[in-house]
């Protein structure tokens, strides 16, 4: 079976199309992240200004700190082994 120029070019187009779909997905994800970061920056600035204005209007830092959302802490994932057990191997799973 021999390939002619048309078949080779068609195969190349298909491969390129898949790569472009992946590139479009990356571009969309990056654009979405950049916009979210911009919005976060604006929201943090508005929050900072609101707290500064509240302090100027008589609120104390202690009172304002009670109004702030609590900081989320990430869970640490640790693996603990039970005494007398061995870690599972990939063949046991």
Show me where the domains of the chain are located: 5-59
Per-residue pLDDT at 71: 80
**Residue whose tokens read 């078949």:** 7
Q: Cα separation of 90 and 46, whole Å?
A: 51
12-42 pLDDT, tens digit per residue, is 999 999 999 999 999 999 999 999 999 999 9
Nearest-Å Rg of the Cα atoms of the chain is 28
Q: What is the pTM of this model?
A: 0.57
The total of other beta-carbon atoms located within 10 Å of residue 55's CB is 13
40-66 pLDDT, tens digit per residue, is 999 999 999 999 999 999 999 999 999
Q: Cα separation of 60 and 71, whole Å?
A: 20
Longest CA–CA separation in the chain, Å: 85
């Amino acid at each position: 079976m021999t390939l002619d120029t048309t078949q080779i070019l068609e195969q190349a187009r298909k491969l390129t199309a898949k790569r472009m779909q992946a590139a479009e997905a990356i571009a969309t994800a990056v654009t979405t992240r950049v916009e979210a970061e911009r919005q976060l920056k604006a929201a943090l600035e508005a929050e900072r200004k609101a707290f500064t204005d509240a302090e100027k209007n008589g609120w104390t830092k202690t009172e304002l700190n009670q109004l702030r959302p609590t900081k989320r802490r990430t869970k640490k994932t640790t693996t603990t082994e039970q005494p007398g057990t061995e870690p599972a191997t990939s063949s046991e799973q």
